[in-house]
Structure 1
Amino acid sequence: MSMYSYEVAKGHGLPHNPFKAVVAPRPIGWISSRAANGSLNLAPYSFFNAVCDTPPIVVFSSSGYKDSVANIDETGDFVFNLATEDLKDAMNTSSAPFDKGVSEFEKAGLTPQDSLLVGAPRVAEAKAALECKHLQTIRLTAHDGTPTNNWMVLGEVVAVHLDEAMLVDGLFDVTKARPLSRLGYMDYAVVDSVFQMRRPKA
């Protein structure tokens, strides 16, 4: 196997940075929040994942201290909404750099639905949503200690919403929901098939 190798500090020498294409697929953190003044925000983040299951904790990272991070720091909660194939255009619309205070719900034609336990609304059209209480916002630093303009937000899941049509024998069927995943460049993928493997016994 012939490998194309490079040191990050010296540049990749390729037409586009391959980093996000290598670390893929990634779930899309479609985060809804409410500012202290009541205005709504909805934005997708390609750096998102679950990092713990007891208690359930999710994380997303923002390049820049954007409205989502500011709202969550102000109010202490947010909602993760599952971005699926049928909502791909609405998700993409919500990524536009609208002025502060402009509701991406309205621009994307989505319905804000009151949550059970948090102040931020969920996307009513989403096939799943996780209500989250804010745990920490951490400004990331480089290995040499230099602060970056990247902000990592951790939230504990306190309530879950599932579209009952996506439940098959009590299991959430991703092949029915068809969640979007983020790849590199301008690429996305849809989860439409699965396979199973059992962990080997020692």
Structure 2
Amino acid sequence: MNVSLDKYYGLISPRPTVCISTVDSDGNSNLAPYSFLTPLSFDPPLIVIGVGEGKDTLVNAREIGDFVVTPLTEEWMVEGIKTGKSLPKGESEFELAGLNTVSSEKIDSPSVAEAKVNIECEYYDEFEVGDHILLVGEVVNISASEDAVKNSRLAIENLGAVGHISGEEFSIAREITKIKRS
């Protein structure tokens, strides 16, 4: 059976879902959900996010030079998804969704107070690819709550990590399975 090419992303899912927070030069915070992302490098630690040209996330990251990647979890996924609504410049998606900002430790963009993990990134580079811009950030700090960390690694099963399938369909991680590569 052939599947329409515009449906390919639904076949490679669920994709990790995050919210990206930024701030503009007037101090207005922005928050938006994304599921086109992946770690890119260990040294330096880089992450890449596919962002549509003209989005506040991209404009602010270019202007201010940083952003926060916050993995979406079951506890605040409904609020996080709400941030996908387009608002006029200067209106905060944090406020729309009922989420709170907290100062990040090493960058200007705010972190999400309700989140158990906030990954602070400095703008590293960007590349135009298809109909998106690949926004590359260098990870400079990770803040995590105690219950988010287990055995020196993030405990996905405890966080209820959210993955985007397609449209309004999402999945929630409930367990981790180990498979030997022998």
Q: Which TM-score bucket, shorter chain as reference?
A: over 0.9
1:79 equivalenced with 2:61 (yes/no): no
Q: Deviations over 1:96-153 (max 9, x none)?
A: 1111111111111111111111100100110111000001122224xxxxxx4x2110
1:154 equivalenced with 2:151 (yes/no): no
Q: Deviations over 1:166-188 (max 9, x none)?
A: 22333321111011001123210
- Counterpart code for 1:134: Y
Aligned twin of 2:2:
5
Q: State the TM-score, normalized to the length of structure 2.
A: 0.93
- Counterpart code for 1:159: N
User: Could you say what secondary structure the match of 2:158 adopts?
Assistant: helix
Q: Mark the structure with the bigger radius of gyration.
A: 1
1:99 equivalenced with 2:81 (yes/no): no
Structure 1 moving runs of 4+ over 6 Å: none
Aligned twin of 2:161:
179
1:94 Cα deviation from its structure 2 partner: 0.6
1:62 Cα deviation from its structure 2 partner: 1.5
1:64 Cα deviation from its structure 2 partner: 3.2
The number of residue pairs the alignment matches comes to 182
Aligned twin of 2:122:
133
C-alpha RMSD of the superposition? 1.6
User: Could you say what secondary structure the match of 1:183 adopts?
Assistant: strand
1:21 Cα deviation from its structure 2 partner: 1.1
Aligned pairs for 1:1-202 (under 5 A) are: 4-5=1-2, 12=4, 17-141=6-130, 148=131, 150-200=132-182
Q: State the TM-score, normalized to the length of structure 1.
A: 0.84
Aligned twin of 1:144:
none
Which 5+ residue runs of structure 2 have no aligned equivalent?
none
Which 5+ residue runs of structure 1 have no aligned equivalent?
7-11, 142-147
1:82 Cα deviation from its structure 2 partner: 1.5
Distance in 1 (alpha carbons) for counterparts of 2:17 and 2:133: 16
